[in-house]
Amino acid sequence: MAQQDLVESPVKELVRRFLITFVLGVVIYRLGVFIPIPGVDAAALKSIITGGLGGESDPVKAMLAYANMFNGGAIAQASIFGLGITPYISASIIMQLMTFSIPALKALQKEGESGRRRINQYTRYATLVIAIVQSLVAGIALARYSSGGTVLLTPDAMANQTMFLAQSVLVITTGSMLILWIADQITRFGIGNGVSIVIMISIMAYLPTAFAGHGTDLAQFLGLVAVCLLIIMCIIVVVQAVRRINLEQQRRVQGNRVYGGAQTTLPLKLNQANVIPVIFAQPVLVVVTMLAAQPLLAQVGLDQFLGYGNPGHRLLFAILIVAFTYFYISITFDLNDLTSHFKQAGFFVRGIKPGKNTVDYIGSIMTRITFVGAIFLALISIMPETFASTFGLQGKGAVLLGGTGLLIIVGVLLDVIQKVGSFMLAHKYGAGGLGGSKKEGKRF
């Protein structure tokens, strides 16, 4: 019945999915961002996080500014959605790395849909554990923060910190799991991947602040818009860019018939790792910067060289992103397993012997395109510091226009466009398969 309704009115189905996505992602999620954690002074917390970028030398505050952007301002609001979808992202990355390194999980993945469901269930268990740990750390940090007489808890919460910790862990963990449920419902009944949609909505909530304060300087405003459009154009080119390797299938003759001989391509994306290397590099950069601030290293000026806004900070960040890009690709992209599938299906690269020669050939191509993708990712990731000094942007605007903000927004929108195109194409073939008339198909 649902399939028949899809054939009769695909536009109505698309409108319904977009409405579900809007209600869950924009209305419910964004309303939850403004619900504070009981016992937390939201105004004091917001004053600390505001300005974490754009001249702020504290690496911890800079990292909080990034996290605040990805969570749609939930951290600055002391919201129950303060963790956002990050526990699930962390659990997914951990499970992905474990799947490629632990034989039992790798075999489970090869079992098909049932195996993937079990891995997905393990990922949710890991999400719950990570959310509990992170909410406990956040609660302890809120309770123990004191700087210049400023505290982040209300007097009642300060008087009973044990109760506050238990309450904050329960509330923040519940909020994080509720976001995961919202993302699942968007994936099932809405448009696109729910996790990506939630992150995109969070980042787009910062869009007005990126252009705030530039209305009186027309030249600076137009320059900012031009740079933004240039970044979007570059992101689209890199996200859509693929290196295609032509594959041919061996022919075999049986009697008077010829089997095989098919041709296909292996598409290798230029930005295979997406924004995961940036996620890996951020905490490492913070740790290194904090170590450089220690008295022994500060005496030689290392803290100034690696301080936020300095060339050394940007250089180290870029090097870490390139290194983690190669690390992630080497872990998740198994060339031996890929070439074995080619061999089983009878496909080969023309002029290259199957086996080790094919692995070396594809590996050399992956090394070259990964380098280009890693350099691009590093360049757009160090842009916030450049924009903060060149255009005088505040923290939120710099993070949005540079770094990974626009990369995520453009990538998700391209994915949604592709999903809509696939949906309409499936309707076209579905109408023919269900006996739709030529007149109906032509009218659509």
* Confidence (pTM): 0.77
Q: What is the pLDDT of residue 116?
A: 83
- Report pLDDT digits (tens) over 268-296: 888 888 878 887 887 788 778 777 777 77
| Yes or no: domain 213-393 corresponds to CATH 1.10.150.120 | no
Between the CA of residue 286 and those of 140, 225, 300, 332, 376, what are the distances in Å? Answer: 20, 31, 19, 25, 22
From 3.90.550.10, 3.60.15.10, 3.40.1160.10, 1.10.3370.10, which CATH number describes the 1-209 domain? 1.10.3370.10
- The alpha-helical segments, DSSP class H, found in 356-404 are 356-381, 383-390, 395-401
Q: What is the pLDDT of residue 436?
A: 43
CB of 405 closer than 8 Å to CB of 206: yes
- Percent of all residues in the chain with a pLDDT value above 90, rounded to a whole number: 11
End-to-end CA distance of the chain: 20
Q: What is the pLDDT of residue 438?
A: 43
Return d(Cα 384, Cα 210) in angstroms, integer: 11
Place of tokens 């959310």: 131
To the nearest 10 degrees (0 to 180), the angle between helices 59-70 and 194-204 is 120
Q: What is the pLDDT of residue 341?
A: 75
Q: 3-state DSSP call for residue 151?
A: strand
Which are the contacts of 181, defined by CB distance < 8 A and separation ≥ 6? none
Cβ burial 266-300 (10 Å sphere, 16+ → b, else e): bebbbbbbbbbbbbbbbeebbebbeebbeeeeeee
- Report pLDDT digits (tens) over 338-394: 777 777 777 778 778 777 788 888 888 888 999 998 998 888 877 766 665 555 554
Give me 14's structure tokens. 């698309």
CB of 243 closer than 8 Å to CB of 418: no
Give me 176's structure tokens. 């994080």
Tell me the average pLDDT of the chain.
Answer: 78
Which are the contacts of 239, defined by CB distance < 8 A and separation ≥ 6? 271, 407, 410, 411, 414
Between the CA of residue 9 and those of 174, 191, 192, 430, 434, what are the distances in Å? Answer: 38, 16, 20, 12, 14
- Report pLDDT digits (tens) over 47-88: 777 654 444 455 566 667 667 777 777 888 888 998 888 899
Residue 157 has, within 13 A of its CA and on its CB side, a CA count of: 19
- The alpha-helical segments, DSSP class H, found in 293-345 are 295-298, 302-305, 311-332, 335-345
Give me 356's structure tokens. 């080790």
Q: What is the pLDDT of residue 286?
A: 75
CB of 382 closer than 8 Å to CB of 314: yes
- Please list the residue range(s) of the chain that carry CATH number 1.10.3370.10: 1-209, 213-393
Q: What is the pLDDT of residue 435?
A: 42
At residue 102, does pLDDT exceed 50?
yes
Return d(Cα 417, Cα 286) in angstroms, integer: 36
Return d(Cα 297, Cα 289) in angstroms, integer: 11
At residue 126, does pLDDT exceed 90?
yes
